[in-house]
A and B are shown apart, each in its own frame.
Chain A
Amino acid sequence: MKTWALIVDTWREALARYTLLGFALVSSLFLLILTFALNLDIVDGSLAAGTLFGKALEFHHGAQAIDTVVVTGQSIFAGMLYVLGVFLAVFATGSQVPNLQTRGTVDLYLTRPITRTHLLLGRFLGAITLVTVNLLFLCGGVFVIISLKTGVWNPRFLVAMGLILVVFLSFLGFMYLVGVLSSSTPLSIMLPYALYMFSFPLAAHDHIAAAMDSRFWANVVHGLYWVLPKTAEVGRDLTGYVLGKATPTLLPLATTAAFGALCLAAAVVIFNRKSF
């Protein structure tokens, strides 16, 4: 009951701040365009012609096998969503912890017979449900519409959504840590963005470390690579998997998840020890 109350509270907050409505509107618009404005003409398993808003699409390499077109399109979409979706999700949930810790509000929550761990994890669960439902609506919608239009059912696209969710959860854990430490919404949004940007080039940690003069700094670069989320590798694996060219490797995903879990655990410990 308490957990449910916290999840409902998270949704109410998202509704009141129009984040849920905004997300639903943008997703619905995209799905409507996909449904009504995009028409594909498939002949003998190949894409012969297509129109977008009534305008003919040009194919420079002649007729393409429809399954190639679909998986390529889904792969590009998954790649875009990997960046954009995580950014939007961070933006939508960044104020959660700072709002909870607002003076005059935190007292009301913490003086109920509920543990601080339960309170924080209940809100975390609320954020997960919020982002999962939005992601499922958008990606599930894209999957169903494209599959119905083309007859190509590529379940790898749906699995890729799971990978996006894992990466988002990792950043959500980090965001909770920043939120608990700083009680600042701008910092809770900006630092995950900065981390996302910073972690991307670390995929080339071997090259960067080789360019370092000092062994110490080379180790720092390697250390950061292993500690921080592997956003570039997971992104590469994700698009490759949707294309059917690769299977996601476990290590980048596991270390990314571990980073989020550690951040969340630290957030819980600090939240429990904090005086308000």
Chain B
Amino acid sequence: MISVRGLVKDFRHWGRRLRALDGVDLEVRRGEVFGLLGANGAGKTTLIKVLLGLARPTEGEARVRGRDPRAASARIRVGYLPEGHRFPGYLTGEGTLRLFGRLAGLPERTLERRAAELLDLVGLADRARDRVGRYSKGMTQRLGLACALLDEPDVLFLDEPTDGVDPVGRRQIRDLLLATRATGTTIFINSHLLSEVERTCDRVAILHHGRVIRQGTVEGLTRPTQRFRLRLATDAPLPAEQLQAVGAAVSSSNGAFEVEVADLETLNRLVDTLRAERLLIAEISPLRAALEDVFVEVVGEEEAR
């Protein structure tokens, strides 16, 4: 659905060359939710802009549905929510959808139906006739999403979709994205909110100084650790000394315990010790490294080189 091969993008600033993308290779499959992670200035927005034909690559090629994104026809049924977008403040919410729907070539009747549906979907139906200039940040973001979904896109690009949105709005956006994915839309998300990406995406790539330094499924990247979550059925304290003696390091957080063991043999010894003390175990579950931990680790390794 989206393919990028050896993509290089240089910007010139007062005669100085700045390399924003440095040989990026990516493949996003149909119906996938793909997350692009990276610190500020890593090149995430530049990559999206190349994929939408907003910026011309210096070298390499980008294809969306097999077409050059600079061709206007390649942008049919492609939705985009830019970071920090600014709708013309003189338009109403409804007027905004009408303008961009017409520019997308939607027939009037379809546009009328879609605008009403989407305004309702993003919770702006009662503010549809208010000027966008009077919308809050969260409302503008939801309107942006409605605008991106106008022509029922095959591919949806979202640049920091939950930026400036409160937790409730964030959940609404997440639910909306999951519903959109269910229709078979390919979704490409740029975000530095890693927990959001972890919950929404199937695969991710980490971009650092314009290069992809790691990519894979969320499951694959957030590999299991040697740490386990342990919860007892009662409030009884853990026999810390005995557990240390079997080689398990214990810490507690939010009413549960985290134990770190060297191997499964040690974990089983830990269970034996707890049972010998007649403690009832309610849960033992492996902990995976959070995407955030993986990101920090991978970027740290790269910086250290």
Contact = CB atoms under 8 A, between A and B. Distances in A.
21 contacts: A1-B102, A2-B102, A2-B103, A4-B102, A5-B103, A9-B99, A103-B86, A104-B83, A104-B86, A105-B87, A107-B49, A107-B52, A108-B85, A110-B53, A111-B52, A111-B82, A112-B75, A113-B74, A113-B103, A114-B72, A114-B103
Contacts of B85: 104-105, 107-108
Contacts of B193: none
Contacts of A273: 56
A16 interface: yes
B88 A13 contact: yes
B47 to A, nearest CB: 13
A5 B98 CA distance: 9
A276 interface: yes
Interface string A109-142: 1111111001000000000000000000000000
A125 B254 CA distance: 64
A21 interface: no
B26 interface: no
Contacts of B147: 108
A112 B49 contact: no
Given A1-B102, A2-B105, A109-B103, A275 B72 contact: no
Interface of A: 1-2, 4-6, 8-9, 12-13, 15-17, 99, 102-115, 118, 273, 275-276
Interface residues on B, range: 20 to 34
Given A111-B52, A111-B78, 16 more contacts: A2-B102, A5-B102, A12-B95, A13-B88, A103-B86, A104-B86, A105-B86, A107-B49, A107-B54, A108-B85, A110-B54, A113-B72, A113-B74, A113-B105, A115-B72, A276-B54
A104 B84 contact: yes
Contacts of A8: 99
B54 to A, nearest CB: 5
A259 B72 CA distance: 29
A1 B90 contact: no
3 A-B pairs with least C-beta separation: A16-B90, A5-B102, A104-B86
